[in-house]
Amino acid sequence: MRKKEKAALIAQMLEDLFPETDVPLLHKDPYTLLIAVLLSAQCTDERVNKVSPLLFTRADTPGKMIKLEVGEIEDIIRPCGLSPAKSKAIKSLSGILLEKYQGKVPADFDALESLPGVGHKTASVVMSQAFGVPAFPVDTHIHRLAARWGLSSGKNVVQTENDLKKLFPKESWNQLHLRIIFYGRKYCPARGHIIAACPICSLFGKKT
């Protein structure tokens, strides 16, 4: 089977298994999504969703956020890990949004990636889920599954992202990356992976 044919079959299986693709991070607008994605670095979505409402009760706009001390932000987000760096980034990027973008999150990859604490993956999530711009955010989970399924031999997430973008139609990227994440959590974990219980891995026999 050619790789593109395999990719099309996998995409259909994912759509059948996960027809709904709601963003798993609680948010109400591009700014709160940006902050939630930043908090999710090396942290589970479940934990972020317990912490972010506490933060957004205090400050859910850049104008409100810059009025908080970095220490106040850090105290709230500490359960998410990396709180010293994340709190500084949150306050700093909020100030930049006010100064350069009238308090709005820019719908531009380069502008987003220039913000403190915002890398390519975070920018991709915001562009795809807040603004509907086709993007394929690849985290370590998608990187792992793409290798298991034989869709990419990329040594890093950048290479894997490029490989997946070539295999799947552009209009599918925004939903597909979420479906792969949902699938990985339910059927294809990093540890304790049971191939017989994993519909895609059992079909294609990847054991990596």
Question: Structural domain of residue 64, as residue ranges?
Answer: 30-131
Q: Is the pLDDT of residue 121 over 60?
A: yes
pLDDT for 208 equals 46
> 10 and 40: one domain?
no
What mean pLDDT do residues 184-188 have?
93
Asked whether residue 126 falls in the same domain as residue 176, the answer is: no
Give yes or no: residues 40 and 107 share one domain. yes
Structure confidence at residue 205 (pLDDT): 60
Give the pLDDT of residue 1.
Answer: 75
The model's pTM:
0.90
119 with 140, same domain? no
Domain total of the chain: 2
Same domain assignment for residues 54 and 91 = yes
Mean pLDDT of 172-200: 93
What's at 5, amino acid-wise? E
- The pLDDT of residue 162 is 96
Q: What percent of the chain has pLDDT over 70?
A: 98
85-113 pLDDT, tens digit each: 999 999 999 999 999 999 999 999 999 99
Q: Which CA distances in Å does 68 have to 55, 59, 63, 87, 178? A: 10, 8, 10, 10, 33
**Domain check: are 125 and 161 in the same one?**
no
Output the DSSP codes for 137-149: ---HHHHHHHHHT
Residues 55 and 114 reside in one and the same domain = yes
- Both 110 and 190 in one domain: the answer is no
Residue 204 has pLDDT above 90, yes or no: no
Distances in Å between the Cα of 207 and the Cα atoms of 31, 72, 144, 183, 203 are: 40, 46, 11, 16, 11
Catalytic residue among 45, 86, 91, 121: 121
**148 in the same domain as 125:** no
Q: Is the same domain home to 127 and 140?
A: no
Give the residue from 131, 153, 188 where a domain finishes.
Answer: 131
For 149-167, how does the pLDDT look when each residue is reduced to its tens digit (9 = 90+)?
A: 999 998 999 999 999 999 9
Find, among 59, 63, 39, 42, the residue nearest to 51 by Cα. 39
Per-residue pLDDT reduced to its tens digit, 5-26: 999 999 999 999 999 988 999 9
Known active-site residue 121:
yes
* Residue from 45, 60, 139, 163 carrying the catalytic annotation: 139
The CATH number for 100's domain is 1.10.340.30
Predicted local distance difference test score (pLDDT) of residue 136: 95
Claim to verify: residue 179 and residue 198 sit in the same structural domain: yes
What is the spatial distance between Cα 33 and Cα 46, in angstroms, rounded to a whole number?
14
Is the domain of 51 the same as that of 116? yes
Position 206 confidence tier, pLDDT thresholds 50, 70, 90: low
Query: Where among 78, 106, 131 does a domain terminate?
Result: 131
CATH of the domain at 160: 1.10.1670.10
Over residues 12-63, the pLDDT tens digits come to 999 999 999 889 999 999 999 999 999 999 899 999 999 999 999 999 999 9
Q: How many CB atoms lie within 10 A of CB 201?
A: 20
Give me the amino acid identity at 90.
I
Catalytic residue status for 45: no
Query: Looking at 95, 113, 131, which one is the last position of a domain?
Result: 131
Give which of 4, 47, 2, 5 is closest to 25, Cα–Cα. 47
